Structure formats: C-alpha cells, structure tokens
Amino acid sequence: SIMQNDNSKHKFFSHTVDESDIILVFCPIVSRAGTDIEAALNNLIYPTAFQIKLSLICLLVLHHTFDPEKTVPDSSRCVKRTDLLTVDFLFYEDAGLLKCQKNSDSTDTTVNWLIQQVCNKILHKI
C-alpha cells in the first residue's frame, strides 16, 4: 500500500486490485478514445471472479485540452461493461485537471455514484 496508518488496519491506497474496495482507472486519451479506453480496461485484471462483485470501479477518461469549455463525446458510449462508472474530465499537461463546469459535474457524478453504491452494499448486508 502507498499510505497506511501503522495503528490501523485501514488502507487508503493499494497497488493490487484484490486489496481494493474502490478502483479508479485513469485513462488519458492519446490516440482514439475507443482504443485507449479498451486498452485501459484490458489492463484491469481481477485475481478472482469474486473480486469483481466487491470492487467499485470508476473509469476516469482524461481529455487533453487547454480549453475549459471544450465539448467532448460521452466516453461511456465506448464502454460495453455495466459494472463500472465512466466519466469524462478535461486536463492540461501543466495545469492538471482544469477548473471548469465539465470537471465539476464529473466530480459530482463520481462522488454521488460512489455514495449510492456504498449505501446499496450496506443495505444488502442488513
């Protein structure tokens, strides 16, 4: 793990999928969106089929631009899988994520989806 409190069993970051509750897949678009997204998802390997049901997966598609008003296609159309959330973000190499409405909306979508998924898991355990 990257960060771990020595007095706690809680891991904040992990290098392996089998230790993760939430998996964030960062996918910068460098050629074609469909090709880059497919490659990113193909690199997501599960150690067990059981792990697929336990992990929450967010595919964060990063579109390189300096224009915070740029309109990008909805990358979720390129994803056939139903077990993950796909969201688009705008970034620029020197600035990182741009401060723009698109990124604000994408952040809200991601956070709300994660909250909903966690609540669903808690309700199903009761």
DSSP of 41-63, one letter per residue? HHT---SSHHHHHH-EEEEEEEE
CB of 40 closer than 8 Å to CB of 31: no
Question: Per-domain residue ranges for the chain?
Answer: 17-125
- Highest mean predicted confidence (pLDDT) among 10-24, 78-92, 97-111: 97-111
Residues 6+ apart with CB under 8 A from 86: 37, 58, 59, 61, 75, 76, 78, 79
The residue ranking higher by pLDDT, 29 or 47, is 29
Residue 64 token pair: 């390189």
CB of 61 closer than 8 Å to CB of 90: no
| CA trace torsion 8, 11, 16, 22 (10° rounding) | 140
pTM for this model (two decimals): 0.79
pLDDT over 80 at 12, yes or no: no
